[in-house]
């Protein structure tokens, strides 16, 4: 090849490289700007006493909502972040668990896993977590008790699942559900990434088996079970994405592959920012090719007036579009 021909071939490649760098820089600047807008709107909605309300117009802080908002403001040094941390400290129950909202009955619930996750992400040294981990390991869906296990095996056969594979309930004394099981698994896998005690390893294994057992045939996950009275239930985008966040380590499982395939197709036709945010987080954690398109669609959905979205959607969107990617993802397991 002649030198002139080589130069002509290299020149377009160089231009393309420069153009790509300019495009990436512009995208980074745009995402940083949107992220700052989202964080500012979230801070503006903080309650005077700390935390965020579960619904607009309420004056009581909800633990779930405050978890997502605190995750978003991890690196912020404003008063909203510190007041949220103070809220978690004063609402923690004596057994190490957390209630559903400030002022609730002193009985722990599913938000315990999220609270631990958020605090360890934002400020790990704020409280000891030993009691919370003990509470999480000991709590289980009602089907984990021998009588209910027998009942679901012999009498109550309308819902098809293996009761020996149990996860976590929304509240103590109820059966296992997908979302609280997924969040509890993420929290325990983050805290005990290696050298797990036998009882912790067993609990993680049972929770994982429960999720895999209750996947919808050929799709993702419904809220609780995949089959009821012999009929397959429809999968939900949000529930499927959250379940996938807990199953990053188990990504070789057929149920995980089919759920990712289903989520790629379904999220591409979805216009809900809330669902797109959860989908983007799942794709990012699985390093799935659909993450880029999903984030672009999320950004487009959030381009309108931010005041029309609830705080939960704003927070999840902020986590998903963060340009630093998986390094600042509070749901990251590995």
Q: How many C-beta atoms lie closer than 10 Å to residue 149's C-beta?
A: 16
Contact between 221 and 215 (Cβ < 8 Å): yes
CA dist., res. 272 & res. 126, Å (int): 35
C-alpha torsion sign, points 189, 292, 276, 244? negative
Closest CA to 70 of 94, 89, 97: 89
CA distance 157 to 144: 16
What φ, ψ does residue 163 adopt, rounded to 5°? -70, -10
Taking the model in full, what pTM does it have?
0.86
- Whether the pLDDT of residue 10 is over 60: the answer is no
pLDDT at residue number 14: 46
Contact 104, 112 (CB under 8 A): no
Query: Which of 20-29, 140-149, 314-323 ranks highest by mean pLDDT?
Result: 314-323
Q: What is the rounded CA–CA span in Å between residue 110 and residue 183?
A: 8
Which band of pLDDT confidence, cut at 50, 70 and 90, is reported for residue 26? very low
- Name the average pLDDT for the chain: 86
pLDDT at 240: 98
Cα 198 to Cα 238: distance, rounded to the nearest angstrom = 31
Cα(68)–Cα(72) distance, integer angstroms: 6
Position with higher pLDDT, 325 vs 194? 194
Q: Are the CB atoms for 161 and 214 separated by under 8 Å?
A: yes
pLDDT, tens only, 224-237: 776 666 667 789 99
- Is the model more confident about 7 or about 225? 225
Instruction: Work out the pLDDT band at 151, boundaries 50, 70, 90.
Output: low
Query: CB neighbours of 143 closer than 8 A, spacing ≥ 6?
Result: 149, 152, 161, 163, 166, 175, 176
Q: How far apart are CA 180 and CA 100, in angstroms?
A: 12
Average pLDDT of the residues in 255-279: 96
pLDDT at 155: 55
Residue 126: pLDDT band with limits 50, 70, 90? confident
- CA-wise closest residue to 187 among 95, 91, 99, 118: 118
Residues 60 and 93: beta-carbon distance below 8 Å = no
């Amino acid at each position: 090849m002649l030198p002139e021909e080589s130069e002509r071939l290299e020149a377009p490649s160089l231009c393309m490289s420069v153009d790509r760098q300019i495009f990436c820089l512009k995208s980074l600047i745009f995402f940083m700007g949107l992220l700052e807008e989202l964080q500012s709107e979230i801070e503006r909605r903080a309650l005077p006493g700390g935390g965020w309300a579960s619904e607009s117009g309420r004056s009581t802080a909800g633990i779930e909502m405050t978890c997502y908002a605190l995750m978003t403001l991890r690196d912020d040094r404003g008063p909203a972040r510190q007041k949220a941390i103070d809220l978690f400290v004063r609402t923690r129950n004596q057994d190490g668990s957390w209630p559903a909202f400030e002022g609730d009955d002193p009985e722990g619930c599913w938000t315990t896993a999220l609270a631990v996750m958020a605090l360890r992400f934002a400020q790990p040294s704020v409280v000891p977590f030993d009691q919370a981990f003990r509470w999480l390991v000991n709590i289980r869906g009602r089907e984990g008790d021998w009588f209910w296990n027998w009942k679901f095996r012999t009498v109550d056969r309308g819902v098809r699942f293996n009761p020996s594979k149990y996860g976590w309930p929304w509240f103590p004394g109820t059966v296992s559900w997908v979302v609280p099981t997924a969040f509890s698994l993420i929290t325990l896998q983050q805290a005990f990434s290696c050298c797990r005690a036998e009882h912790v390893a067993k609990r993680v294994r049972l929770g994982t088996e429960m999720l895999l057992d209750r996947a919808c045939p050929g799709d993702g996950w419904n809220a609780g079970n995949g089959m009821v009275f012999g009929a397959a239930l429809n999968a939900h985008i949000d529930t499927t994405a959250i379940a996938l966040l807990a199953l990053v380590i188990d990504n070789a499982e057929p149920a995980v592959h089919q759920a990712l395939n289903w989520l790629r197709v379904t999220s591409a036709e979805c216009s809900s920012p809330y669902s797109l945010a959860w989908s983007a987080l799942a794709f990012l954690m699985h390093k799935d090719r659909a993450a880029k398109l999903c984030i672009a669609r999320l950004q487009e959905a959030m381009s309108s007036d931010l005041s029309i979205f609830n705080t939960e959607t704003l927070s999840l969107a902020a986590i998903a579009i963060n340009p630093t990617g998986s390094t600042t993802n509070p749901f990251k397991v590995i």
